[in-house]
Structure 1
Amino acid sequence: MKQKRYNQEFKETIINLYRSGTPVNQLSSEYGVPEVTIYKWIKMHSPIEGTNELTPADISEIQKENLRLKQEVEILKKGYDHIREKVTDQEVINHIHVEKAHYSIQMMCRVLKVPKSTYYQAANKKPSVYQLENEQLTTRIRDIHRESNELYGAPKIHFLLCREGWKVSIKRIQRLVRQAGIRSTIIKKYRPTQTQHLVKERENHLNQDFQTTSINEKWVADITYIYTLRDGWFYLASVLDLHSKKIVGYKFSRQMTVELVTQALENAILTQEPLEGLIVHTDLGTQYTSEAFQKQLKKHGIIASFSRKGCPYDNACIESFHATLKKEEVYRNRYSNFETAKLALFQYIESWYNRKRIHGAINYLTPNEVERLCRSTL
């Protein structure tokens, strides 16, 4: 049997519980982690004597980062030689001029293969009347944008400039607005109605067939939201194994992003190590239909399956788990902030739901017991 693997967030939470006063033997019993493993995690994340706050894990990460940066520099140097002829001298000179406050001109000229004389000749060149006018226009554009409480975009700014006597085209203003990084910051009113956009139907391999013969055959995934008093709403992405009913992967975040669902799936893959051919079923949410999530599935040989539009029964199992989570934990408590809620839900999933909560659908066993039985027969 392979040694069980844990993601970094799980390790950090166990260490935080230890530092808050929970004994190692209790943590081992509650979360099924050997005591020697917990002591190892604590040692790896404890400051080294004489280094203030540096831990062995920190030093290891620094060494990895240094190696990564060294490799990136070598790759960039090799790649730059192939594209240098496609980059104009003026573009390189502009870059040097922007970065000269951070790096020496001599070093940048050497790395970017531009003679110093070429740079200084260009630097001493007087700007044209057109360039000077663009600078004046950009200054006035910024003023108008600020005076409008950052609400105006290029069309309204162009109108005001013309009214002030400037003879400029809308395309020129659009270009200067874009170069200045100016955007109209209008917040749209929230409307709790169904989307009017067409949702592209995708292949439904699961087709409400929730029957399995072993673990890591069919997973279902979804996102739910939880409210906190200080930090407002945050999100939980969960991945459930239909055979064991175990939450095999999850991730908490204060934003509902693609990274939220990809990291939840990556955590599940890390701990479960499924074989190719696994089916992962989700709804048609933009996070799950995103290119990044689909690439992740293909990378691990996973088959993507999607619910039909407007049919919640296709993904009923994971929605049932989230309903249970809220009835048993969320609705019974009030969370002051994101970190408090995150810890409470971690304890619910890892200590209660996966390890202790029995399920009628799996002969009143716990998810961990079902998984243990399956692994013993593999």
Structure 2
Amino acid sequence: MKELGIRACWARPYTITTLNSDFNSRLTNVLDRNFNPERPNEVWCTDITYIWTIADGFVYLTSIMDLCSRKIIAWTLSKTLEVEEVLKCVEIAKQRREIKVPLIIHSDRGIHFTCRKYSELTNGMKRSYSEKGVPYDNACIESFHSLIKKEWLNRKVILDYDHVYYLCFEYIETFYNTARIHSHCDYMSPKQYEDLWNKVN
């Protein structure tokens, strides 16, 4: 590999990055790892990941994925972990999508996803939560956040918030959603898969 100039991509081990709320009896896993819904806007999943920059320290990427197509339908980047950034991401998703069926929105048990403001914003949706400390219950969005780091961000020296925003936009909007193929999508991109689904349904 050294002779060919090939360098392995190192993936950081999973670490818990948000505080879990203690409402075990009230937060249920409605999704139950059913990661293959039949139609768009049947199940969304969401999570937050940390990204390190030289000038601004950690910044925080919140993403929402439609599980049918694995498309990232909304994302926000912020310098703080204020709940308003999560709410903004949900608002963007609601504005972009026409929800015609009862919707499940799945997340971990972090305080951003269990607070009153989040409950009010997702009123009418079925809120679903991973079991405490079990990232596999939200495997698809966890996998996306791993991919954006492994395939894109970890290959760069990230200077500041503006730089990482540009990199996230470049990866999500011009590559992941529109060009990166997925076995789940019959080796189409998320956009191609959704376009085909809408055409035949």
TM-score with structure 1 length normalisation?
A: 0.47
CA distance in structure 2 between the partners assigned to 1:219 and 1:264 by the alignment: 12
**1:328–1:195 distance in 2 versus 1, CA, 3 Å:** closer
- Equivalent of 2:122, from 288, 293, 297? 297
In structure 2, give the amino acid aligned to 1:325: I
Please show how residues 218-257 of structure 1 align to structure 2 within 5 Å: 218-257=43-82
Which 4+ stretches in 1 moved above 4 angstroms? Answer: 192-198
1:377 counterpart = 2:200:
yes
- The corresponding residue for 2:183 is 360
* Matched letter for residue 154 of structure 2: Y
Q: 1:288 aligns with which of 113, 117, 122?
A: 113
Letter aligned with residue 228 of structure 1 = T
Q: Identity, % of aligned pairs?
A: 37
2:169 corresponds to which of 324, 346, 354: 346
Corresponding residue of 1:318:
141
CA contact (8 A) 2:53 2:160 kept: yes
Asked if the contact 1:276/1:302 (under 8 Å) is kept, the reply is: no
Asked if the contact 2:69/2:190 (under 8 Å) is kept, the reply is yes
**Distance in 2, Cα, partners of 1:194 & 1:250:** 18
CA contact (8 A) 1:358 1:367 kept: yes
SS at match of 1:373: helix
Q: How many residues align?
A: 185
Structure number with greater CO (CA < 8 Å, separation at least 6) is 2
- 2: CA distance, partners of 1:313 / 1:219: 15
1:306: which partner in 2? 129
Distance, in Å, in 2 between the alignment partners of 1:305 and 1:375 is 26
Q: 2:151 aligns with which of 312, 320, 328?
A: 328
Write the distance in 2 (CA, Å) between the matches of 1:194 and 1:351: 28
- Given that 1:241 and 1:248 are in contact with CA atoms closer than 8 Å, whether structure 2 keeps it comes out as yes
**TM-score, normalising length from structure 2?**
0.87
**In 2: Cα distance, 1:311 partner to 1:212 partner:** 21
Q: How does 1:8-19 map to 2 (within 5 A)?
A: none
Give the whole-Å Cα distance in 2 for the aligned partners of 1:193 and 1:312: 9
Uncovered stretches (5+) of structure 1, i.e. residues with no partner: 1-191
Give, in angstroms, the shift of residue 377 of structure 1.
3.2
Indicate the SS of the match to 2:59.
strand
Rounded Cα–Cα distance in structure 1 between residues aligned with 2:20 and 2:49 = 22
Matches within 5 A, 1:1-378: 199-201=22-24, 202-298=27-123, 301-378=124-201
Tell me how far apart the structure 1 counterparts of residues 92 and 198 of structure 2 sit (CA, whole Å): 19
Distance 1:213 1:229, change over 3 A: same
